[in-house]
Amino acid sequence: MEDEVINAAVASQIELVKKRKKVDFGTKAGCVPAYVHATGSVVGPMAANAPSAARAKAPKLGNTVCVKMAHGAHWPENVSARFRLTMDFASADVLMVANISEGLYLPEALEARLRGVRVCDRDFIQTAMQKGNCYAFQRALDLHFHLYLTEGFANKYPAHSDVLFAHGALNGCKLRVYKGGMPEKPRHPKLTFNLCPSPSLSSDSDSAESGKSWNLDKLLMKLGVLYDQG
């Protein structure tokens, strides 16, 4: 019995490695590959597959770019005077993360999605935007969703939940966030979803069973609508 469990775990890890290699090989030269989570879900550049109507051009950065650093990031040396460090998300143009793929999962990256702030890596700032990686997110607070924070999600992802609830209660936002489970008959059934901790919910599944529930992977994907930076 123990050998069967071990073999199953090894097989699962092998399949995960194969999936990560497939994602890496399928990524265009010069582009960062999507992040494959331990559950098998894919997060990151896949959000670029948003409907064409949402693919507006990214607004250009100004002569002064305010940069907020995410947890674990370090300010580069000899940075262009164009870049200014800020501690306030409200004035930030860019959120710098230590690792772009893993950084997309951070609570700060969720807030960047909500506010429409770019997320970049250290090389992007170090080279004055000539190298490195940067994602320009559209403002997710303008997306019309009604999200219910279940107790399980809030317990597993307290920092993400705090960010969601703080912003989803703001006036003038289409994105609304509530505590507790969704009602049996919501006012906007096609736009209403439970946020659940289960990793078994596929980030690209919309079946009758899982279509009304999002896990963290799917939440980040749905709120991660990218601008066209071409």
* pLDDT, tens digit (0-9, with 9 covering 90-100), for 175-203: 999 999 999 889 999 999 999 997 654 44
Q: What is the pLDDT of residue 62?
A: 93
Ranking 15-24, 54-63, 71-80, 123-132 by mean pLDDT, the lowest is 15-24
Residue with tokens 């000899």: 78
CA distance readout (Å), 177 to 11, 54, 88, 139:
39, 22, 23, 15
The domain of 125 spans 54-135
Q: Is residue 80 part of a domain?
A: yes
Asked if 225 and 53 count as a contact pair (C-beta separation under 8 A), the reply is no
Same domain, residue pair 15 and 61 = no
Task: Using the predicted structure, report yes or no on whether residue 109 has a pLDDT greater than 90.
Answer: yes
Nearest to 36 by CA among 56, 51, 20, 13: 20
Q: What is the pLDDT of residue 168?
A: 85
Domain total of the chain: 3
Look at residues 135, 151, 169 and tell me which one is the last residue of a structural domain. 135
Look at residues 12, 31, 52 and tell me which one is the last residue of a structural domain. 52
Q: What is the pLDDT of residue 228?
A: 82
Mean pLDDT, all residues of the chain: 81
Look at residues 135, 163, 198 and tell me which one is the last residue of a structural domain. 135
Asked if 61 and 88 count as a contact pair (C-beta separation under 8 A), the reply is no
